[in-house]
Structure 1
Amino acid sequence: MSLTKDAIQVFLAVLDKGSFSAAARSIGRVPSAVSMCIANLEADLNLELFDRRGREPLPTPAASALEAKARFMLQQFELWEAQALALSKGLESRLSLAIAPELLASDWAGPLGQLALRYPSLEVEVLAAPETDAIRLLHEGRVQLAVVFESQQFDSRECCQEMSKENMLAVIAPSHPAITGGRILRTEELAEHRQIVVASREPNAAPPRFLQAHHHWRSDNHTAALSMLQAGLGWGFLPESLVKPQLNAGTLVEITLDNISSFSALWVDLIWSNSQPLGLGAQYFIALIREKQQRETAAARSAH
Protein backbone atom coordinates (compact mmCIF):
# COMPACT_ATOMS: atom_id res chain seq x y z
CA MET A 1 0.00 0.00 0.00
CA SER A 2 1.30 3.45 -0.92
CA LEU A 3 -0.58 6.45 0.47
CA THR A 4 -0.25 9.55 -1.66
CA LYS A 5 -0.93 13.20 -1.04
CA ASP A 6 -3.54 13.07 -3.81
CA ALA A 7 -5.48 10.24 -2.15
CA ILE A 8 -5.49 12.03 1.22
CA GLN A 9 -6.63 15.29 -0.39
CA VAL A 10 -9.53 13.52 -2.11
CA PHE A 11 -10.51 11.68 1.10
CA LEU A 12 -10.58 14.93 3.10
CA ALA A 13 -12.43 16.80 0.33
CA VAL A 14 -15.25 14.23 0.44
CA LEU A 15 -15.38 14.48 4.24
CA ASP A 16 -15.48 18.30 4.10
CA LYS A 17 -17.92 18.70 1.20
CA GLY A 18 -20.27 15.80 1.95
CA SER A 19 -20.48 14.32 -1.56
CA PHE A 20 -18.29 13.08 -4.39
CA SER A 21 -19.60 15.75 -6.78
CA ALA A 22 -19.03 18.66 -4.38
CA ALA A 23 -15.57 17.32 -3.52
CA ALA A 24 -14.76 17.03 -7.22
CA ARG A 25 -15.71 20.65 -7.84
CA SER A 26 -13.60 21.85 -4.90
CA ILE A 27 -10.42 20.16 -6.15
CA GLY A 28 -11.00 20.50 -9.90
CA ARG A 29 -11.78 16.85 -10.68
CA VAL A 30 -14.67 14.99 -12.25
CA PRO A 31 -16.92 13.00 -9.84
CA SER A 32 -15.96 9.67 -11.41
CA ALA A 33 -12.27 10.33 -10.69
CA VAL A 34 -13.07 11.12 -7.06
CA SER A 35 -15.19 7.98 -6.74
CA MET A 36 -12.42 5.86 -8.29
CA CYS A 37 -9.78 7.36 -5.96
CA ILE A 38 -11.87 6.59 -2.86
CA ALA A 39 -12.54 3.03 -4.10
CA ASN A 40 -8.80 2.46 -4.62
CA LEU A 41 -8.03 3.91 -1.19
CA GLU A 42 -10.61 1.61 0.43
CA ALA A 43 -9.08 -1.37 -1.38
CA ASP A 44 -5.57 -0.42 -0.24
CA LEU A 45 -6.70 0.05 3.36
CA ASN A 46 -9.09 -2.92 3.32
CA LEU A 47 -11.65 -0.60 4.93
CA GLU A 48 -14.98 0.88 3.94
CA LEU A 49 -14.61 4.64 4.30
CA PHE A 50 -18.00 5.82 3.02
CA ASP A 51 -21.46 4.25 3.17
CA ARG A 52 -22.92 4.71 -0.32
CA ARG A 53 -26.40 3.28 0.33
CA GLY A 54 -28.04 6.69 0.65
CA ARG A 55 -28.20 9.62 -1.75
CA GLU A 56 -24.90 10.99 -0.45
CA PRO A 57 -21.92 9.03 0.92
CA LEU A 58 -21.73 8.98 4.69
CA PRO A 59 -18.39 8.62 6.53
CA THR A 60 -18.02 5.29 8.32
CA PRO A 61 -16.58 5.06 11.84
CA ALA A 62 -13.28 4.05 10.20
CA ALA A 63 -13.23 7.25 8.14
CA SER A 64 -13.94 9.35 11.23
CA ALA A 65 -11.16 7.58 13.12
CA LEU A 66 -8.66 8.28 10.32
CA GLU A 67 -9.62 11.91 9.74
CA ALA A 68 -7.29 13.58 12.25
CA LYS A 69 -4.28 11.55 11.10
CA ALA A 70 -5.12 12.28 7.45
CA ARG A 71 -5.15 16.03 8.13
CA PHE A 72 -1.81 15.75 9.92
CA MET A 73 -0.32 13.77 7.02
CA LEU A 74 -1.55 16.33 4.47
CA GLN A 75 0.06 19.10 6.51
CA GLN A 76 3.34 17.16 6.58
CA PHE A 77 3.20 16.62 2.82
CA GLU A 78 2.75 20.35 2.32
CA LEU A 79 5.57 21.24 4.72
CA TRP A 80 7.84 18.75 2.97
CA GLU A 81 7.07 20.28 -0.41
CA ALA A 82 7.56 23.81 0.93
CA GLN A 83 10.92 22.89 2.41
CA ALA A 84 12.06 21.19 -0.79
CA LEU A 85 11.10 24.29 -2.77
CA ALA A 86 12.88 26.58 -0.31
CA LEU A 87 16.00 24.40 -0.36
CA SER A 88 16.03 24.54 -4.15
CA LYS A 89 15.97 28.35 -3.92
CA GLY A 90 18.81 28.56 -1.38
CA LEU A 91 17.37 27.91 2.08
CA GLU A 92 19.93 26.35 4.40
CA SER A 93 18.95 23.09 6.09
CA ARG A 94 19.96 24.56 9.46
CA LEU A 95 20.64 28.07 10.71
CA SER A 96 23.09 28.19 13.61
CA LEU A 97 23.68 31.27 15.79
CA ALA A 98 26.31 31.74 18.47
CA ILE A 99 25.36 34.29 21.14
CA ALA A 100 27.65 35.70 23.82
CA PRO A 101 26.17 34.52 27.16
CA GLU A 102 25.96 38.08 28.49
CA LEU A 103 23.68 38.92 25.53
CA LEU A 104 21.15 36.14 25.96
CA ALA A 105 18.74 38.66 27.48
CA SER A 106 18.97 40.99 24.46
CA ASP A 107 16.30 41.04 21.75
CA TRP A 108 17.31 38.34 19.29
CA ALA A 109 14.43 35.90 19.85
CA GLY A 110 11.79 38.25 18.42
CA PRO A 111 13.31 38.25 14.91
CA LEU A 112 13.70 34.47 15.16
CA GLY A 113 9.94 34.25 15.62
CA GLN A 114 9.42 36.20 12.39
CA LEU A 115 11.94 33.94 10.67
CA ALA A 116 9.96 30.88 11.79
CA LEU A 117 6.79 32.30 10.25
CA ARG A 118 8.45 32.68 6.85
CA TYR A 119 10.41 29.41 6.93
CA PRO A 120 8.53 27.07 9.32
CA SER A 121 10.54 24.01 8.29
CA LEU A 122 13.94 25.64 8.87
CA GLU A 123 15.88 24.03 11.71
CA VAL A 124 17.44 26.64 14.02
CA GLU A 125 20.24 26.09 16.53
CA VAL A 126 21.22 28.68 19.15
CA LEU A 127 24.53 28.22 20.96
CA ALA A 128 25.69 30.23 23.97
CA ALA A 129 29.42 30.82 23.57
CA PRO A 130 31.75 33.40 25.11
CA GLU A 131 32.62 36.12 22.65
CA THR A 132 35.97 34.77 21.46
CA ASP A 133 34.48 31.29 21.10
CA ALA A 134 31.48 32.64 19.18
CA ILE A 135 33.75 34.40 16.69
CA ARG A 136 35.93 31.29 16.35
CA LEU A 137 32.85 29.16 15.63
CA LEU A 138 31.85 31.68 12.97
CA HIS A 139 35.21 31.55 11.17
CA GLU A 140 35.30 27.75 11.42
CA GLY A 141 31.92 27.58 9.68
CA ARG A 142 30.23 25.93 12.67
CA VAL A 143 27.71 28.78 12.85
CA GLN A 144 26.55 31.25 10.22
CA LEU A 145 25.81 34.18 12.54
CA ALA A 146 27.15 35.48 15.86
CA VAL A 147 25.73 38.02 18.31
CA VAL A 148 28.60 39.73 20.13
CA PHE A 149 29.70 43.11 21.41
CA GLU A 150 31.05 45.59 18.87
CA SER A 151 34.55 44.72 17.78
CA GLN A 152 37.46 46.80 19.02
CA GLN A 153 39.39 46.01 15.85
CA PHE A 154 38.34 45.76 12.21
CA ASP A 155 38.42 42.24 10.77
CA SER A 156 38.22 42.07 6.98
CA ARG A 157 36.78 38.54 7.18
CA GLU A 158 33.61 39.79 8.85
CA CYS A 159 30.50 41.73 7.95
CA CYS A 160 28.28 43.19 10.63
CA GLN A 161 24.94 44.78 11.38
CA GLU A 162 24.35 46.81 14.54
CA MET A 163 21.54 45.36 16.65
CA SER A 164 21.15 47.45 19.78
CA LYS A 165 23.02 49.27 22.53
CA GLU A 166 23.69 47.72 25.91
CA ASN A 167 24.49 49.62 29.09
CA MET A 168 27.36 47.82 30.80
CA LEU A 169 27.07 48.14 34.59
CA ALA A 170 29.57 47.47 37.36
CA VAL A 171 27.60 45.35 39.85
CA ILE A 172 28.26 43.68 43.17
CA ALA A 173 26.41 41.91 45.97
CA PRO A 174 25.09 44.36 48.59
CA SER A 175 26.89 42.35 51.30
CA HIS A 176 30.31 42.56 49.63
CA PRO A 177 32.98 44.04 51.97
CA ALA A 178 34.09 46.52 49.29
CA ILE A 179 30.92 48.56 49.73
CA THR A 180 30.22 47.94 53.41
CA GLY A 181 28.53 50.89 55.02
CA GLY A 182 27.67 52.46 51.69
CA ARG A 183 31.31 53.07 50.82
CA ILE A 184 31.86 54.71 47.43
CA LEU A 185 34.78 53.40 45.34
CA ARG A 186 37.14 54.99 42.90
CA THR A 187 37.69 53.33 39.52
CA GLU A 188 41.23 52.25 40.36
CA GLU A 189 39.99 50.52 43.51
CA LEU A 190 37.97 48.06 41.42
CA ALA A 191 41.23 46.56 40.22
CA GLU A 192 42.04 45.56 43.80
CA HIS A 193 38.90 43.43 44.20
CA ARG A 194 38.23 40.06 42.57
CA GLN A 195 36.29 40.36 39.32
CA ILE A 196 33.88 37.75 37.96
CA VAL A 197 34.05 37.54 34.16
CA VAL A 198 32.42 35.53 31.40
CA ALA A 199 35.23 34.20 29.23
CA SER A 200 36.27 31.43 26.88
CA ARG A 201 36.99 28.02 28.36
CA GLU A 202 40.06 27.77 26.12
CA PRO A 203 43.22 28.29 28.23
CA ASN A 204 45.08 30.20 25.49
CA ALA A 205 42.19 32.45 24.47
CA ALA A 206 42.58 36.22 24.44
CA PRO A 207 41.95 38.00 27.76
CA PRO A 208 38.27 38.74 28.49
CA ARG A 209 37.14 42.04 26.97
CA PHE A 210 35.90 43.61 30.23
CA LEU A 211 38.69 42.45 32.52
CA GLN A 212 39.87 45.26 34.83
CA ALA A 213 40.93 43.58 38.08
CA HIS A 214 44.33 42.13 38.96
CA HIS A 215 42.62 38.94 40.17
CA HIS A 216 39.61 37.36 38.52
CA TRP A 217 37.46 34.27 38.45
CA ARG A 218 35.94 33.21 35.14
CA SER A 219 33.10 31.14 33.76
CA ASP A 220 31.85 30.49 30.24
CA ASN A 221 28.29 30.57 31.57
CA HIS A 222 26.37 33.71 32.51
CA THR A 223 24.21 31.86 35.05
CA ALA A 224 27.30 30.67 36.93
CA ALA A 225 28.77 34.18 36.82
CA LEU A 226 25.58 35.66 38.27
CA SER A 227 25.55 33.05 41.03
CA MET A 228 29.12 33.91 42.01
CA LEU A 229 28.30 37.62 42.02
CA GLN A 230 25.22 37.15 44.18
CA ALA A 231 27.27 35.02 46.57
CA GLY A 232 29.58 38.00 47.14
CA LEU A 233 32.59 36.36 45.51
CA GLY A 234 33.50 39.40 43.47
CA TRP A 235 32.21 42.22 41.29
CA GLY A 236 31.32 42.12 37.61
CA PHE A 237 30.85 44.29 34.56
CA LEU A 238 27.73 43.02 32.78
CA PRO A 239 24.88 44.24 30.52
CA GLU A 240 21.96 45.92 32.24
CA SER A 241 19.49 43.64 30.42
CA LEU A 242 21.19 40.62 31.99
CA VAL A 243 21.43 41.88 35.59
CA LYS A 244 18.16 43.84 35.72
CA PRO A 245 16.21 41.03 37.48
CA GLN A 246 18.91 40.80 40.18
CA LEU A 247 19.02 44.59 40.58
CA ASN A 248 15.24 44.68 40.97
CA ALA A 249 15.38 41.86 43.51
CA GLY A 250 18.19 43.53 45.47
CA THR A 251 20.55 40.57 45.17
CA LEU A 252 22.94 42.79 43.20
CA VAL A 253 23.51 46.55 43.30
CA GLU A 254 25.21 48.92 40.91
CA ILE A 255 28.60 50.06 42.16
CA THR A 256 28.76 53.80 42.81
CA LEU A 257 32.05 55.33 41.69
CA ASP A 258 33.10 58.81 42.80
CA ASN A 259 35.27 59.73 39.81
CA ILE A 260 33.41 58.41 36.74
CA SER A 261 30.09 56.87 35.81
CA SER A 262 29.77 53.21 36.69
CA PHE A 263 28.35 52.31 33.28
CA SER A 264 29.17 52.63 29.62
CA ALA A 265 27.15 51.93 26.48
CA LEU A 266 28.32 49.44 23.86
CA TRP A 267 26.83 48.38 20.56
CA VAL A 268 25.77 44.78 20.08
CA ASP A 269 26.58 43.50 16.58
CA LEU A 270 25.28 40.66 14.46
CA ILE A 271 28.27 39.39 12.47
CA TRP A 272 28.81 36.88 9.67
CA SER A 273 31.70 35.71 7.54
CA ASN A 274 32.11 37.26 4.11
CA SER A 275 33.83 34.10 2.86
CA GLN A 276 30.80 31.87 3.37
CA PRO A 277 27.62 32.21 1.25
CA LEU A 278 24.54 32.85 3.37
CA GLY A 279 21.30 30.93 2.93
CA LEU A 280 17.87 32.50 2.73
CA GLY A 281 17.25 32.07 6.46
CA ALA A 282 20.41 33.92 7.49
CA GLN A 283 19.76 36.64 4.91
CA TYR A 284 16.22 37.17 6.16
CA PHE A 285 17.34 37.26 9.80
CA ILE A 286 19.92 39.93 8.96
CA ALA A 287 17.26 41.91 7.08
CA LEU A 288 14.93 41.72 10.09
CA ILE A 289 17.67 43.00 12.41
CA ARG A 290 18.50 45.81 9.98
CA GLU A 291 14.84 46.87 9.68
CA LYS A 292 14.43 46.79 13.46
CA GLN A 293 17.51 48.97 13.97
CA GLN A 294 16.35 51.43 11.33
CA ARG A 295 12.94 51.74 13.01
CA GLU A 296 14.52 52.33 16.41
CA THR A 297 16.94 54.92 15.00
CA ALA A 298 14.09 56.77 13.26
CA ALA A 299 12.02 56.72 16.46
CA ALA A 300 14.93 58.09 18.48
CA ARG A 301 15.45 60.92 15.99
CA SER A 302 11.77 61.85 15.96
CA ALA A 303 11.77 61.88 19.79
CA HIS A 304 14.44 64.59 19.70
Structure 2
Amino acid sequence: MFSSEAVRVFLAVVDHGSFSAAARALGRMPSAVSMAVGQLEAELDLQLFERQARSTVLTPAGLALLPQARLAASHLQRLGAQALALHEAPQPRLSLALAPELEGAGWSAPLAALAEAFPPLALDVRVLPQAEAMALLREGEVQLALVFERHALEAWEGFEEVGCELLVAVASRAWLAQVAGNAPLRSETLQETRQILVGSRAGEHNPRLIHSANRWEAGSHMAAMRLVEAGLGWAFLPRAMLPPSGQGELVELAFDNMSNQVSLWVDVVWHRERPLGTVAQRYLALLREGLRGQPPL
Protein backbone atom coordinates (compact mmCIF):
# COMPACT_ATOMS: atom_id res chain seq x y z
CA MET A 1 0.00 0.00 0.00
CA PHE A 2 1.85 3.12 1.23
CA SER A 3 5.41 2.26 0.23
CA SER A 4 8.09 4.94 0.35
CA GLU A 5 7.60 5.49 -3.40
CA ALA A 6 3.81 5.70 -3.05
CA VAL A 7 4.19 8.31 -0.34
CA ARG A 8 6.55 10.31 -2.55
CA VAL A 9 4.17 10.28 -5.52
CA PHE A 10 1.09 11.02 -3.39
CA LEU A 11 2.75 14.07 -1.79
CA ALA A 12 4.10 15.29 -5.11
CA VAL A 13 0.58 15.39 -6.57
CA VAL A 14 -0.72 17.16 -3.45
CA ASP A 15 2.10 19.74 -3.40
CA HIS A 16 2.12 20.48 -7.14
CA GLY A 17 -1.64 20.40 -7.71
CA SER A 18 -1.86 18.05 -10.69
CA PHE A 19 -0.50 14.82 -12.12
CA SER A 20 1.37 16.65 -14.90
CA ALA A 21 3.04 19.12 -12.50
CA ALA A 22 3.97 16.27 -10.14
CA ALA A 23 5.40 14.32 -13.11
CA ARG A 24 7.63 17.26 -14.05
CA ALA A 25 8.86 17.57 -10.46
CA LEU A 26 9.57 13.83 -10.26
CA GLY A 27 11.08 13.59 -13.75
CA ARG A 28 8.44 11.10 -14.94
CA MET A 29 5.71 10.80 -17.55
CA PRO A 30 2.25 12.01 -16.38
CA SER A 31 0.81 8.62 -17.28
CA ALA A 32 3.27 6.92 -14.88
CA VAL A 33 2.23 9.22 -12.03
CA SER A 34 -1.46 8.68 -12.79
CA MET A 35 -0.94 4.92 -12.88
CA ALA A 36 0.92 4.96 -9.55
CA VAL A 37 -1.86 6.92 -7.87
CA GLY A 38 -4.52 4.68 -9.42
CA GLN A 39 -2.75 1.57 -8.16
CA LEU A 40 -2.50 3.08 -4.66
CA GLU A 41 -6.22 3.93 -4.68
CA ALA A 42 -7.06 0.38 -5.80
CA GLU A 43 -4.96 -1.18 -3.05
CA LEU A 44 -6.50 1.12 -0.41
CA ASP A 45 -10.00 0.83 -1.91
CA LEU A 46 -10.26 4.61 -1.45
CA GLN A 47 -10.47 7.49 -3.90
CA LEU A 48 -7.72 9.96 -2.90
CA PHE A 49 -8.15 12.65 -5.58
CA GLU A 50 -10.93 14.35 -7.52
CA ARG A 51 -9.64 14.58 -11.11
CA GLN A 52 -10.58 17.98 -12.53
CA ALA A 53 -9.77 19.62 -15.85
CA ARG A 54 -6.90 21.82 -14.69
CA SER A 55 -6.14 20.55 -11.20
CA THR A 56 -6.29 17.59 -8.87
CA VAL A 57 -8.03 18.05 -5.52
CA LEU A 58 -7.90 15.80 -2.47
CA THR A 59 -11.03 13.93 -1.49
CA PRO A 60 -12.02 13.76 2.22
CA ALA A 61 -10.23 10.40 2.39
CA GLY A 62 -7.10 11.94 0.88
CA LEU A 63 -7.24 14.84 3.31
CA ALA A 64 -7.55 12.40 6.22
CA LEU A 65 -4.45 10.47 5.09
CA LEU A 66 -2.33 13.52 4.25
CA PRO A 67 -0.94 14.30 7.77
CA GLN A 68 0.20 10.70 8.25
CA ALA A 69 1.75 10.64 4.78
CA ARG A 70 3.79 13.76 5.57
CA LEU A 71 4.86 12.24 8.89
CA ALA A 72 5.86 9.02 7.14
CA ALA A 73 7.91 10.99 4.57
CA SER A 74 9.73 12.81 7.37
CA HIS A 75 10.49 9.53 9.17
CA LEU A 76 11.73 7.94 5.95
CA GLN A 77 14.06 10.88 5.32
CA ARG A 78 15.52 10.59 8.80
CA LEU A 79 15.88 6.83 8.38
CA GLY A 80 17.82 7.36 5.17
CA ALA A 81 20.07 9.96 6.78
CA GLN A 82 20.77 7.64 9.70
CA ALA A 83 21.60 4.75 7.37
CA LEU A 84 23.98 6.99 5.43
CA ALA A 85 25.67 8.10 8.65
CA LEU A 86 26.34 4.45 9.57
CA HIS A 87 28.46 4.10 6.42
CA GLU A 88 30.67 7.02 7.35
CA ALA A 89 33.45 6.97 9.91
CA PRO A 90 32.86 9.39 12.80
CA GLN A 91 34.62 12.67 12.16
CA PRO A 92 36.39 14.28 15.13
CA ARG A 93 34.79 17.65 14.41
CA LEU A 94 32.45 19.96 16.28
CA SER A 95 30.88 23.05 14.69
CA LEU A 96 28.86 25.35 16.92
CA ALA A 97 27.04 28.67 16.39
CA LEU A 98 26.41 30.99 19.36
CA ALA A 99 24.12 33.93 19.88
CA PRO A 100 26.38 36.85 20.92
CA GLU A 101 24.71 37.17 24.32
CA LEU A 102 25.90 33.66 25.18
CA GLU A 103 29.62 34.11 24.57
CA GLY A 104 30.19 34.15 28.32
CA ALA A 105 27.97 31.12 29.01
CA GLY A 106 29.16 27.62 29.93
CA TRP A 107 29.41 26.25 26.40
CA SER A 108 33.24 26.04 26.49
CA ALA A 109 33.48 24.02 29.73
CA PRO A 110 33.09 20.55 28.07
CA LEU A 111 35.71 21.22 25.40
CA ALA A 112 38.74 20.12 27.45
CA ALA A 113 37.21 16.68 28.07
CA LEU A 114 36.06 16.51 24.43
CA ALA A 115 39.56 17.27 23.14
CA GLU A 116 40.98 14.58 25.43
CA ALA A 117 38.49 12.01 24.14
CA PHE A 118 39.10 13.02 20.49
CA PRO A 119 42.74 14.20 20.24
CA PRO A 120 42.53 15.29 16.56
CA LEU A 121 39.37 17.31 17.28
CA ALA A 122 38.66 20.15 14.83
CA LEU A 123 36.58 22.92 16.40
CA ASP A 124 34.61 25.64 14.61
CA VAL A 125 32.78 28.19 16.81
CA ARG A 126 30.91 31.07 15.20
CA VAL A 127 29.31 33.99 17.03
CA LEU A 128 26.37 35.43 15.10
CA PRO A 129 23.03 37.13 15.73
CA GLN A 130 20.50 34.44 16.62
CA ALA A 131 18.63 34.47 13.30
CA GLU A 132 21.88 33.97 11.41
CA ALA A 133 23.05 31.21 13.78
CA MET A 134 19.78 29.34 13.19
CA ALA A 135 20.11 29.85 9.41
CA LEU A 136 23.59 28.24 9.48
CA LEU A 137 22.15 25.30 11.43
CA ARG A 138 19.24 24.90 9.01
CA GLU A 139 21.61 24.97 6.03
CA GLY A 140 23.97 22.38 7.57
CA GLU A 141 26.90 24.77 8.07
CA VAL A 142 27.07 23.92 11.79
CA GLN A 143 26.01 20.89 13.85
CA LEU A 144 24.67 22.71 16.91
CA ALA A 145 23.44 26.18 17.83
CA LEU A 146 23.31 27.67 21.31
CA VAL A 147 20.50 30.22 21.20
CA PHE A 148 17.66 31.74 23.17
CA GLU A 149 14.10 30.41 23.18
CA ARG A 150 12.30 30.90 19.85
CA HIS A 151 8.77 32.26 19.44
CA ALA A 152 7.81 29.17 17.42
CA LEU A 153 9.61 25.90 16.67
CA GLU A 154 10.31 24.78 13.12
CA ALA A 155 9.49 21.15 12.29
CA TRP A 156 13.17 20.36 11.74
CA GLU A 157 14.35 21.61 15.17
CA GLY A 158 15.51 19.21 17.84
CA PHE A 159 16.53 20.94 21.05
CA GLU A 160 17.38 20.62 24.71
CA GLU A 161 16.92 23.37 27.28
CA VAL A 162 20.19 24.04 29.10
CA GLY A 163 19.50 27.03 31.34
CA CYS A 164 18.68 30.71 31.18
CA GLU A 165 20.52 33.99 30.69
CA LEU A 166 19.80 37.15 32.65
CA LEU A 167 19.75 40.43 30.71
CA VAL A 168 19.59 43.73 32.61
CA ALA A 169 18.76 47.28 31.53
CA VAL A 170 21.89 49.43 31.74
CA ALA A 171 23.01 52.94 30.85
CA SER A 172 25.94 55.22 31.53
CA ARG A 173 26.07 57.37 34.66
CA ALA A 174 26.09 60.49 32.46
CA TRP A 175 23.00 59.31 30.53
CA LEU A 176 21.13 58.56 33.75
CA ALA A 177 21.97 61.97 35.23
CA GLN A 178 20.85 63.76 32.06
CA VAL A 179 17.63 61.81 31.51
CA ALA A 180 16.37 61.27 35.04
CA GLY A 181 18.45 63.46 37.36
CA ASN A 182 17.29 62.69 40.87
CA ALA A 183 13.75 61.75 39.81
CA PRO A 184 12.49 58.16 40.02
CA LEU A 185 13.00 56.26 36.76
CA ARG A 186 9.93 54.72 35.11
CA SER A 187 9.42 52.49 32.08
CA GLU A 188 8.01 55.44 30.14
CA THR A 189 11.52 56.91 30.13
CA LEU A 190 12.79 53.93 28.11
CA GLN A 191 10.04 54.40 25.52
CA GLU A 192 11.04 58.04 25.00
CA THR A 193 14.82 57.57 24.77
CA ARG A 194 17.20 55.80 22.40
CA GLN A 195 17.62 52.05 22.85
CA ILE A 196 20.69 50.18 21.62
CA LEU A 197 19.78 46.75 20.22
CA VAL A 198 22.00 43.94 19.04
CA GLY A 199 20.71 43.34 15.52
CA SER A 200 20.96 40.88 12.66
CA ARG A 201 21.01 41.48 8.93
CA ALA A 202 17.41 40.25 8.90
CA GLY A 203 16.44 42.91 11.46
CA GLU A 204 14.89 40.34 13.82
CA HIS A 205 14.64 41.00 17.56
CA ASN A 206 13.03 39.37 20.57
CA PRO A 207 9.92 41.50 21.26
CA ARG A 208 10.50 41.18 25.01
CA LEU A 209 13.65 43.28 24.60
CA ILE A 210 12.11 46.12 22.56
CA HIS A 211 10.88 49.13 24.53
CA SER A 212 11.67 52.18 22.43
CA ALA A 213 10.63 53.38 18.98
CA ASN A 214 13.98 55.20 18.71
CA ARG A 215 16.52 52.41 18.18
CA TRP A 216 20.10 52.02 17.05
CA GLU A 217 21.51 48.60 16.13
CA ALA A 218 24.93 47.20 16.95
CA GLY A 219 26.45 44.05 15.47
CA SER A 220 27.55 42.64 18.85
CA HIS A 221 27.01 43.15 22.55
CA MET A 222 30.51 44.52 22.90
CA ALA A 223 29.69 47.21 20.33
CA ALA A 224 26.39 47.89 22.10
CA MET A 225 28.22 48.26 25.41
CA ARG A 226 30.59 50.82 23.89
CA LEU A 227 27.66 52.89 22.60
CA VAL A 228 25.99 52.77 26.01
CA GLU A 229 29.22 53.75 27.77
CA ALA A 230 29.43 56.76 25.45
CA GLY A 231 26.04 57.94 26.72
CA LEU A 232 24.28 57.38 23.38
CA GLY A 233 21.41 55.28 24.77
CA TRP A 234 20.49 52.41 27.06
CA ALA A 235 20.44 48.65 26.40
CA PHE A 236 19.64 45.22 27.77
CA LEU A 237 23.00 43.51 28.24
CA PRO A 238 23.96 40.13 29.73
CA ARG A 239 24.75 40.59 33.39
CA ALA A 240 27.79 38.32 32.94
CA MET A 241 29.32 40.98 30.67
CA LEU A 242 29.01 43.83 33.16
CA PRO A 243 31.80 44.97 35.50
CA PRO A 244 31.30 44.58 39.28
CA SER A 245 28.78 46.98 40.79
CA GLY A 246 30.23 50.45 41.33
CA GLN A 247 33.07 49.98 38.84
CA GLY A 248 33.17 51.56 35.41
CA GLU A 249 30.78 53.89 33.64
CA LEU A 250 27.81 51.49 33.35
CA VAL A 251 25.02 51.26 35.93
CA GLU A 252 22.01 48.97 36.16
CA LEU A 253 18.80 50.96 35.84
CA ALA A 254 16.23 50.69 38.62
CA PHE A 255 12.57 51.46 37.90
CA ASP A 256 9.59 52.40 40.02
CA ASN A 257 7.07 50.40 38.00
CA MET A 258 8.88 47.39 36.48
CA SER A 259 11.79 45.03 36.86
CA ASN A 260 15.04 45.88 35.07
CA GLN A 261 15.68 42.22 34.20
CA VAL A 262 14.64 39.84 31.42
CA SER A 263 15.34 36.12 31.77
CA LEU A 264 15.53 34.17 28.51
CA TRP A 265 15.73 30.37 28.31
CA VAL A 266 18.73 28.97 26.46
CA ASP A 267 18.54 25.94 24.15
CA VAL A 268 21.03 23.77 22.33
CA VAL A 269 19.44 23.12 18.93
CA TRP A 270 20.23 20.59 16.18
CA HIS A 271 18.68 19.58 12.86
CA ARG A 272 16.48 16.51 13.39
CA GLU A 273 16.99 15.29 9.82
CA ARG A 274 20.80 15.33 10.16
CA PRO A 275 21.80 12.77 12.79
CA LEU A 276 24.46 14.06 15.15
CA GLY A 277 27.84 12.40 14.93
CA THR A 278 29.75 10.84 17.81
CA VAL A 279 31.57 14.07 18.69
CA ALA A 280 28.45 16.26 18.81
CA GLN A 281 26.59 13.64 20.88
CA ARG A 282 29.49 13.47 23.32
CA TYR A 283 29.55 17.27 23.58
CA LEU A 284 25.84 17.30 24.45
CA ALA A 285 26.39 14.64 27.13
CA LEU A 286 29.29 16.60 28.65
CA LEU A 287 27.22 19.79 28.58
CA ARG A 288 24.39 18.07 30.48
CA GLU A 289 26.80 16.65 33.07
CA GLY A 290 28.45 20.03 33.58
CA LEU A 291 25.11 21.74 34.15
CA ARG A 292 23.97 19.42 36.94
CA GLY A 293 24.00 21.35 40.17
CA GLN A 294 25.37 24.45 38.46
CA PRO A 295 23.69 27.88 38.28
CA PRO A 296 21.87 28.72 35.03
CA LEU A 297 23.90 29.71 32.01
Identity, in percent, stands at: 39
SS of alignment partner, residue 181 of structure 2: helix
For structure 1, the 5+ residue unaligned runs are: 1-86, 300-304
SS of alignment partner, residue 185 of structure 1: coil
CA RMSD of aligned residues (A): 2.4
Per-residue CA shift, 1:206-238, capped at 9, x if unaligned? Answer: 345522210111122222111111111110012
Name the larger-Rg structure: 1
Distance 1:240 1:231 in 2: 19
Per-residue CA shift, 1:238-297, capped at 9, x if unaligned? Answer: 221122x26552321111110111112222111111111211111111111222334448
Distance 1:248 1:94 in 2: 43
Mapped contact 2:92–2:118 kept (Cα < 8 A): no
Mapped contact 1:100–1:148 kept (Cα < 8 A): yes
Per-residue CA shift, 1:82-132, capped at 9, x if unaligned? Answer: xxxxx9874335321111111101111111222112112110011110111
Distance 1:112 1:182 in 2: 48
Mapped contact 1:191–1:213 kept (Cα < 8 A): yes
- For residues 164 and 248 of structure 1, do their structure 2 counterparts lie closer, same or farther at Cα, with a shift above 3 Å needed? farther
Distance 2:245 2:140 in 1: 38
Letter in 1 for 2:271: S
Mapped contact 2:92–2:279 kept (Cα < 8 A): no
Q: Residue 270 of structure 1 aligns with which residue?
A: 268
Per-residue CA shift, 1:14-51, capped at 9, x if unaligned? Answer: xxxxxxxxxxxxxxxxxxxxxxxxxxxxxxxxxxxxxx
SS of alignment partner, residue 105 of structure 2: coil
Alignment of 1:56-205 (within 5 A): 90-177=89-176, 179-200=179-200, 202=201, 204-205=202-203
How many residue pairs get matched? 209
Letter in 2 for 1:95: L
Structure 1 length as normaliser, TM-score? 0.63
Shift of 1:159: 1.4
Mapped contact 1:194–1:215 kept (Cα < 8 A): yes
Mapped contact 2:144–2:269 kept (Cα < 8 A): yes
Letter in 1 for 2:157: E
